[in-house]
Structure 1
Amino acid sequence: MSQALMLSGWRYRVLIGSIICSALAYLVVSLWGGWSAVSAAVSRVGWWEVGQIVGAVLLGYGLRFLRWQGYLSALGHPLPWRPSLKIYLAGFALTTTPGKAGEALRSVLLKRWEVPYTQSFAAMFSERLADLLAMVGLALFGLSAYPQWLSLIAVTLVLLTGGAGLMFSPGLVSAIDHRIEQHRNRFSRLLRHAVQVLHESRRCHTPWRLLGATLLSVLAWELEALGFYWILQAMGADIGLLSATFIYAVAMLAGALSFMPGGLGSAETVMVALLVSGGIEVPDAIAATVLLRLVTLWLAVCLGMVTLFGGESGSRF
């Protein structure tokens, strides 16, 4: 199946519609507070600093790809690094879908390498758990200075505990599967697939794999938080690395829990609000937030689009 055929019809409309909606939301955020003030503040960062930040973000992507390779190996599908990297980056093209659901495009591409959908979804489910765990870990370092955000972190921990509890309780999963078998309808089939994904996900979370994946996740996301800190320092903001890390982590958690496309709107609102509460002027807070999203979210989307559409039609990922 060629890339052109794979992205025809409804898949193509979902892709384009997602990007257009996200771009419009991003434009609203960018213009909020006055574009002239925002552009003036962004220009203070400088190209050298932007290059450093992009380098840190790309290194973070590399660490997350290593984690992805580890999950595929645990599931019995150690793909060659080159096609696996293309598939991984291609998934970024749909980062702006709600809850990153569009990254399921990776499952379509992995199917061509004979990876069953349940196992590719298990790898993606494991990624989401690792990301949430890393964000909670980063947020906890600065929680003492922002106790009002404890409820958000607590909700995330409850979700993580629930997901891990289902994954590591084979008896409970089997009981759910048995109950599903008694009902033959579309919803029960979807639940059965979800149960199968949970079953496969356990293979990605042996003690050593869990430790390694958690370390890679924390390092990868801390690199983006470090980029955020560098932006703030270049703009002359009096925000320490610990506070910058907390603001970044909490904003990303808010974006993830909102299930908005790419966290757009919710993540930016939380980030700007925390920066302003820390004494930063509104235009500068907006500028720092917009620039960070450009070199993280939108850099990922661009990499994904180039990877997805840049190859020759019909080439095998």
Structure 2
Amino acid sequence: MADSIPPLPATALAAPRRSWRDRALFWGLIALFIFGLAGLISATGWEAVWDELRKLSVAQIAILLALSLINYLIRGARWHLLSRRLGVNLPLRYSVLHFIAGFAMTITPARVGEFVRLRWITRMTGWKFERVTPLPLADRAFDLAAMGLVLGVAILLSGQGSFSAAPVSAIAIAAAVLVTRPTLLAKLVEAIYSVIRRWPRPFVRLRQAARSMGRFSTLSASIPALVLSTIGWLAEGYALYLLLYWMGSDISYATATVIFLFSTLAGGLTGAPGGLGGAEAAMMVLLSMNGVPIHVALAATTVIRITSLWFAIAVGALAFPFAEAFSHKSKTI
């Protein structure tokens, strides 16, 4: 593998097109999600689940959505901080717009559709794609680090020291450390390529991106990014805690945070777009293990996934055309 390999043409760097296969995957996953929930509700009892859903007022739903929106905005601010660290000098409003609009592509394989954020940056700055590829890697790294740290502390506070989320927390932190260490990450990329021996150009770009990760590992960059990430995920944990409280379940804030973060990470480990299936299953199991009745667990899981994952996709879809339009207007750098 050599750095002398010519770059891919610009057309190959474009975001994935909305082909019929993309649309089929999107609607297929939605149908699978609805079908699975319908089956669980049918097995549990429609009336019991519906009674739990009716306990929620419009104001309470609005609070849950507001907490999710706080998470998105704070993480958007982190995206801006990291992009400035990389040298991208876009105003904060564009960084936040790009970050939120990228949620429209959450349900794509491995969430690769979210790389559309880089397309908007390259349009507005005139930069080459390679210069901004470290940005999503750093963004995911600080998400993993914050989730791992919060999960570890929440496990201790919740009194569930033997809970199996502890290894997941350690893995998340270890992965974040690896991604922000350029030498280790570059060696990992080279090791993977030495086994696969295919697609040399993408691996060259990955290695180049890995070598650029060092600028995110300094304290001046990592501490603010971790603080913003932590606040964002604590807001989501608080949303689940409030939801369970409104439904009459006696679950502590620490335990609710453990359940939300572990379920999110578990869903991501399945490889399914948006963690569909895995996150819901993990959340229901953990809620049941903590004494939440199955019909309450099902209702809470349904609501929290709608107000987090599906709300993010909806907000991203609304913001997407604005990000596209503004990226075509003019270069700001």
- TM-score, scaled relative to structure 1: 0.86
- How far 1:308 sits from its partner (Å)? 1.8
Per-residue CA distance 1:193-215 (angstroms, 9 max, x = gap): 11111122222232111000000
- How far 1:295 sits from its partner (Å)? 0.8
Instruction: Name 2:79's counterpart in structure 1.
Output: 68
Pair 1:77–1:270, CA change in 2 (3 A)? same
- How far 1:99 sits from its partner (Å)? 3.0
Given that 2:101 and 2:323 are in contact with CA atoms closer than 8 Å, whether structure 1 keeps it comes out as no
What is the aligned counterpart of 2:57 among 18, 37, 46? Answer: 46
Aligned residues: 306
Given that 1:118 and 1:200 are in contact with CA atoms closer than 8 Å, whether structure 2 keeps it comes out as no
Pair 1:62–1:43, CA change in 2 (3 A)? same
Instruction: Name 1:159's counterpart in structure 2.
Output: 175
Return the alpha-carbon distance in structure 2 between the equivalents of residues 92 and 29 of structure 1.
Answer: 23
3-state SS of paired residue (2:145) = helix
Instruction: Name 2:183's counterpart in structure 1.
Output: 169
Return the alpha-carbon distance in structure 2 between the equivalents of residues 17 and 125 of structure 1.
Answer: 28
- How far 1:151 sits from its partner (Å)? 3.0
- TM-score, scaled relative to structure 2: 0.82
Per-residue CA distance 1:166-210 (angstroms, 9 max, x = gap): x3428x848977x98x9xx85222211111111222222321110
3-state SS of paired residue (2:328) = coil
Instruction: Name 2:162's counterpart in structure 1.
Output: 147
Matches within 5 A, 1:195-210: 195-210=207-222
Instruction: Name 1:22's counterpart in structure 2.
Output: 29
Of 122-131 and 89-98, more deviation after overlay is shown by 89-98
Return the alpha-carbon distance in structure 2 between the equivalents of residues 77 and 204 of structure 1.
Answer: 13
- How far 1:123 sits from its partner (Å)? 1.0
Instruction: Name 2:129's counterpart in structure 1.
Output: 117
Structure 1 portions without partners, runs of 5+: 1-5
Instruction: Name 2:97's counterpart in structure 1.
Output: 86
Structure with the larger RCO, 1 or 2 (CA within 8 Å, 6+ apart)? 1
What is the aligned counterpart of 1:33 among 37, 41, 48? Answer: 41
Given that 2:137 and 2:179 are in contact with CA atoms closer than 8 Å, whether structure 1 keeps it comes out as no
- How far 1:307 sits from its partner (Å)? 1.6
Matches within 5 A, 1:176-255: 187-255=199-267
What is the aligned counterpart of 1:283 among 291, 295, 301? Answer: 295
Given that 1:15 and 1:94 are in contact with CA atoms closer than 8 Å, whether structure 2 keeps it comes out as no
- How far 1:259 sits from its partner (Å)? 1.7
Pair 1:137–1:78, CA change in 2 (3 A)? same
Per-residue CA distance 1:202-261 (angstroms, 9 max, x = gap): 222321110000000000011011111110000001101010011111111111222211
Return the alpha-carbon distance in structure 1 between the equivalents of residues 50 and 328 of structure 2.
Answer: 42
Pair 1:101–1:36, CA change in 2 (3 A)? farther
Return the alpha-carbon distance in structure 1 between the equivalents of residues 202 and 327 of structure 2.
Answer: 32
Given that 2:149 and 2:169 are in contact with CA atoms closer than 8 Å, whether structure 1 keeps it comes out as no
Return the alpha-carbon distance in structure 1 between the equivalents of residues 242 and 162 of structure 2.
Answer: 25
Return the alpha-carbon distance in structure 1 between the equivalents of residues 322 and 253 of structure 2.
Answer: 37
Instruction: Name 1:103's counterpart in structure 2.
Output: 114
Paired AA for residue 196 in structure 1: Q
Return the alpha-carbon distance in structure 1 between the equivalents of residues 249 and 293 of structure 2.
Answer: 9
Instruction: Name 1:258's counterpart in structure 2.
Output: 270
Return the alpha-carbon distance in structure 2 between the equivalents of residues 39 and 108 of structure 1.
Answer: 43
Of 188-197 and 83-92, more deviation after overlay is shown by 83-92
Structure 2 portions without partners, runs of 5+: 1-13
Instruction: Name 1:3's counterpart in structure 2.
Output: none
Pair 1:69–1:26, CA change in 2 (3 A)? same
Return the alpha-carbon distance in structure 2 between the equivalents of residues 115 and 230 of structure 1.
Answer: 44
Pair 1:277–1:173, CA change in 2 (3 A)? closer
3-state SS of paired residue (1:262) = helix
Pair 1:27–1:139, CA change in 2 (3 A)? same
Given that 2:120 and 2:324 are in contact with CA atoms closer than 8 Å, whether structure 1 keeps it comes out as no
Return the alpha-carbon distance in structure 1 between the equivalents of residues 327 and 111 of structure 2.
Answer: 25
